[in-house]
Amino acid sequence: MLEKKFTNLLNQAGIKVNGKNPWDMQIYSDKVYLSLIFGNLALGEAYMNKSWDSKQLDEFFYRLLSSGIVAKRKYVSNILTFIKAALINAQKITRAYQVGERHYNIGNDLFQAMLDGYMQYSCGYWKDTDNLEQAQLQKLDLICKKINLQKGERVLDIGCGWGGFAKYAAEKYGAEVVGLTISKEQAKLAREFCKGEKVKISLEDYRELNEKFDKIISVGMFEHVGPKNYKTYMQMINRCLKDNGIFLLHTIVGLDDRINTDPWMERYIFPNGVIPSINQIMKAADGILTSIDTHEFGEYYDKTLMAWWKNFNSAWSELKKNSKYDERFYRMWKYYLLSCAGSFRAKKIKLYQIVFTKRTNSITNYTLIR
């Protein structure tokens, strides 16, 4: 019964079970059919356990998600994560460091192999380039231009990662940067990377900060804030931003308001993460900050993820010499990168840069940068 229903659903997405197309699904165990009940949690675990495969996993997910068949179904694991999110504040300050411990502390060797020279773990800006390094440099410069960064200005980078933006802003624009991270491994490498520059890297949650800055940026971090804390986050920006300052938020955005995340992503990749909607972001900022620019370029995240996958796959022969990176980890990481690429390709998630000022700011001549 489950097998027939599963096969029929995939057919609606143009995917054949044991077919000959590179995006088709090769099934090796009946456990795969449990995904009809438990959704992506069961599907992802089955993939990690070699119960199924697809030669072109990114295209498999693009076709699956584009078809709309996933959105129409209710899954047990999704319902359970929704109930959990409704009952508790999964991103409260006492839990804030969990994603650092479980994801960003995996190993700097992994991220150095996968990312560009400035260690940008967020969407690149691929305008007029097919090169990851150039795309990330363009993203960094785009941010600096959008906040009108001037020499000597003090900048806060919330979720500074391995210090890439901090180093770039200090080197190229003469800024003084304070970077916040909840990852010990990120902080360690960021301090080394930014040595000699006017950069301070702090292992600190954003809610603990009470200092003034000319400019504030947050790149790829808001997905860890959580709906119960969106208003608190915006209040912190208002508290720490000077009256004539500018704040840039770079974040993945979902199509609908959500309070929970995909169960497989929650368990294996980003614990306590939630992708916000534009509505949730603007509602949280309402009465506190004013948006003066919104810029969507989610199509570039597909290219970024595929470049990361290429780098990771090329480096695997070296990475696997480290005992913590086994075959199951390889399949988990592949599933993560390529399923996300398929999601962006299907336009089920997007990428926004939103520029805000304080409500009291009287900026009237802001120039849109693209």
Q: Supply the pLDDT for residue 72.
A: 64
Using CA atoms, how far residue 317 sits from 117, 269, 280, 307, 325, in Å, is 20, 22, 42, 17, 11
Q: State how far the Cα of 186 lies from the Cα of 166, in Å rounded to an integer.
A: 13
CATH 1.10.260.40 is the classification of domain 106-358: no
Catalytic residue among 144, 160, 240, 340: 340
Q: Supply the pLDDT for residue 259.
A: 87
261 and 274 Cβ atoms separated by less than 8 Å: yes
**Sheet with 154-158, side-by-side order of all strands:** 199-203, 176-181, 154-158, 213-219, 241-254, 349-358, 289-296
- Across the chain, which has 370 residues, the per-10-residue mean pLDDT values are 88 95 96 88 96 98 91 65 71 87 96 98 98 98 98 98 98 98 98 97 96 98 97 98 96 93 94 96 97 97 98 98 95 98 97 94 80
Query: Which among 232, 325, 264 has a CA at the least distance from the CA of 43?
Result: 264
- For the chain, the domains span 2-73, 106-358
60 and 53 Cβ atoms separated by less than 8 Å: no
Q: State how far the Cα of 264 lies from the Cα of 40, in Å rounded to an integer.
A: 6
Q: Supply the pLDDT for residue 261.
A: 86
Q: Supply the pLDDT for residue 270.
A: 96
Whether residue 340 lies in the annotated active site: yes
Angle at 24 between CA 336 and CA 73, to 5 degrees: 65
Q: State how far the Cα of 101 lies from the Cα of 91, in Å rounded to an integer.
A: 14
Q: Supply the pLDDT for residue 76.
A: 61
256 Cβ contact list (under 8 Å, min separation 6): 277
Q: Supply the pLDDT for residue 82.
A: 61
| Residue 241 backbone class (left: φ over 0; alpha: ψ -120 to 50; beta: rest) | beta
